[in-house]
Amino acid sequence: MTILGPRSAAREHLIPHFTPESIWSEDQWPVLDRGDGAYVWTVDGERFLDGLSGLFCNNLGHGRTDLVEAMTTQAARLPFGPCWGMTHTAAIAAADAVTGFAPAGLDRVFFVSSGSEAVESAIKLARCFHVANDEPQRTTVIARRWAYHGTTLGALSATGIPKLRAPFEPLLRGVVHAANTREVDDPALAIEDAILAAGPETVSMVLAEPVQNGGGALVPPPGYWEELRAICDRHGVLLCADEVITGFGRIGASFASERFAARPDLMTFAKGVTSAYVPMGGVITTDALVDRITSSPMGSFLHGSTFGAHPIAAAVAVATIDALRREAIPERVREREPALRARLADLTAAHDCVGEVRGCGFFYAIELTQSRARGVALTPEQSGELLGGLLTRWIWEEHLLIRADDRGATMLVIAPPLTSDDAVLTELLDAVSRILDRVDAYVARLGS
Ligand code: PLP
């Protein structure tokens, strides 16, 4: 009998998510085995600093006995119960906790199991609302270019990343992609122009991340979300904030909508709601929107899934929100933000390959260029080489997990666990600094 190593064994039966064959076929990638706090260990016994919180989700770090206890207690008590024709005590407690943590006025929550499903649910909830209002023709969704809203076909229709969409065209009809906040001087006007071009009476909702990940942690300009609110009100359109990354403390507030004075009608979430200990997502909305649907001839929101409001996920959500409050996590992130930004500014000053650093809270993109001083961008060949494996190799050689991203720019993206202390943040940024040294050396070598 041949004994396979873990990577060969993985290749036998496992289809990885978004993993290029050039990486999967080699034997370099980490096989994670266990974690503690901000660190994970591979099967080879090597320790990595998790500078991306898994996928922007393991926000409280690994090894939390409070979250594990919530899981096991609930599993012993009631491991499953439907939220379909009935409900259970864990779902009621989670709904209370989630809406209590959300901005005022968002008092109802529909639970699902992922961010993509959350976005799909928001699209359907908005459409049911318009049907209830005798405006069934309002089906168009205005999203933004380079936005990532998930990969199931409905959510992918809202995603504005060309290479992710291309193989699956035609997607849902009636999604229009307008400029994001980086592409034009007046991005709110671009949204209104898109509504007007589509015909306002056909538009269902505007969908936008408060800080857009695709394109590189795009922080909205002052007043953007207030303007979106006014535009949506003017045209009878619903406003949905996709808080799948930004919710539950990531940007130094309970939700980014709180920080940017957004007043959305709908807010999608996933990832951090359970600190990723178990899958959960959902959409939070207003009493008025739900009441309008339930008092219409439809009589209910015509949508559901077996695992929506799963009791174990619900129990972990309650424990996660307890921890976020008890440990004042959003406040701690906000307190540490100036020091983190100062350190990122130092990294920029020390490296000519850093074009710009964007982001806030514990969520940043470091955009790479050939020379900031000379105003020279990376050539497509350089970007291709850096993103085709060089950056990832250098990241792993630092025993770091962060993302080398090609969506809208050539970037390194960092999003450490929200519980990271100064020592962890220093270790992270020291490693990033050494990676940037290598990028500087790489472009200098090519230029000479
Ligand atoms: N929306 C946003 C803003 C996201 O960042 C993501 C995932 O990263 C999703 C939706 C999709 O979430 P999931 O991967 O859980 O389906």
pLDDT digits (tens, 9 = 90+) for 353-393: 999 999 999 999 999 999 999 999 999 999 999 999 899 99
**Which phi and psi (to 5°) does residue 108 adopt?**
-130, 145
* Backbone angle region of 352, left / alpha / beta, with phi > 0 → left and psi within -120 to 50 → alpha: alpha
CA of 359 from ligand 1 middle (Å) equals: 18
Say how far apart CA 424 and CA 197 lie, in whole Å.
49
In-domain check, residue 411: yes
Say how far apart CA 427 and CA 399 lie, in whole Å.
11
Are residues 318 and 388 both part of a single domain?
no
pLDDT at 3: 78
Ligand 1 atom nearest residue 151's Cα: 16
Closest residue by Cα to atom 7, ligand 1, is 150
Query: Which of 57, 123, 146, 149 is the pocket-test mutation for ligand 1 (most atoms within 8 Å of CB)?
Result: 149
Please say which residue of 292, 326, 360 terminates a domain.
326
CA of 443 from ligand 1 middle (Å) equals: 33
For the stretch 261-307, pLDDT in tens is 999 999 999 999 999 999 999 999 999 999 999 999 999 999 999 99
Percent of the chain predicted with pLDDT > 70: 99
Q: Average pLDDT, stretch 240-267? A: 98
Q: At 22, is the pLDDT very low, low, confident or very high (cuts 50, 70, 90)?
A: confident
In-domain check, residue 8: no
Q: What SS3 class is residue 160? A: coil
End-to-end Cα spacing for the chain: 53
CA of 150 from ligand 1 middle (Å) equals: 5
Please say which residue of 306, 326, 346 terminates a domain.
326
Are residues 230 and 130 both part of a single domain?
yes
Contact 80, 294 (CB under 8 A): no
Are residues 301 and 426 both part of a single domain?
no
Are residues 268 and 121 both part of a single domain?
yes
DSSP string, 109-126: EEEESSHHHHHHHHHHHH
* Backbone angle region of 166, left / alpha / beta, with phi > 0 → left and psi within -120 to 50 → alpha: alpha
Are residues 44 and 73 both part of a single domain?
no
Are residues 277 and 351 both part of a single domain?
no
β 203-208/238-242 pair status: parallel
Say how far apart CA 143 and CA 141 lie, in whole Å.
6
Give residues with Cβ within 8 angstroms of 102, minimum separation 6: 109, 254, 255, 267, 284
For the stretch 149-170, pLDDT in tens is 999 999 999 999 999 999 999 9
Q: Average pLDDT, stretch 397-415? A: 95
Are residues 58 and 117 both part of a single domain?
no
pLDDT at 447: 65
pLDDT over threshold 80, residue 84: yes
Q: How many domains does the chain have?
A: 2
Are residues 333 and 352 both part of a single domain?
yes
Query: Which of 111, 250, 268, 271 is the pocket-test mutation for ligand 1 (most atoms within 8 Å of CB)?
Result: 271
Ligand 1 atom nearest residue 213's Cα: 5
pLDDT at 244: 98
β 354-360/403-405 pair status: unpaired
Are residues 126 and 246 both part of a single domain?
yes
Query: Which of 151, 218, 244 is the pocket-test mutation for ligand 1 (most atoms within 8 Å of CB)?
Result: 244
Are residues 59 and 75 both part of a single domain?
no
In-domain check, residue 289: yes
CA of 162 from ligand 1 middle (Å) equals: 16
In-domain check, residue 157: yes
CA of 354 from ligand 1 middle (Å) equals: 27
Helix (H) or strand (E) holding 411: strand 411-414
Please say which residue of 274, 309, 326 terminates a domain.
326
Could you tell me the CATH number of the domain that includes residue 54? 3.90.1150.10
- DSSP structural state of residue 377: P
Where in the sequence is the domain holding 305, given as residue range(s)? Answer: 65-326
CA of 116 from ligand 1 middle (Å) equals: 6
Could you tell me the CATH number of the domain that includes residue 291? 3.40.640.10
In-domain check, residue 166: yes
Are residues 267 and 147 both part of a single domain?
yes
In-domain check, residue 48: yes
Closest residue by Cα to atom 13, ligand 1, is 115
Which of 12-26, 58-72, 76-90, 232-246 shows the lowest mean pLDDT across its residues? 12-26
| Residue 45 one-letter amino acid | G
In-domain check, residue 288: yes
> How is residue 313 written in tokens?
């996920």
Q: At 1, is the pLDDT very low, low, confident or very high (cuts 50, 70, 90)?
A: low
Are residues 312 and 416 both part of a single domain?
no
β 140-144/175-178 pair status: parallel
Residue list, ligand 1 pocket, CB within 6 Å: 114-116, 119, 148-150, 209, 213, 242, 244-245, 270
In-domain check, residue 191: yes
pLDDT, greater one: 388 or 323: 323
DSSP string, 286-330: -HHHHHHHHTSTT-S-----TTTT-HHHHHHHHHHHHHHHHTTHH
pLDDT over threshold 90, residue 40: yes
CA of 79 from ligand 1 middle (Å) equals: 26
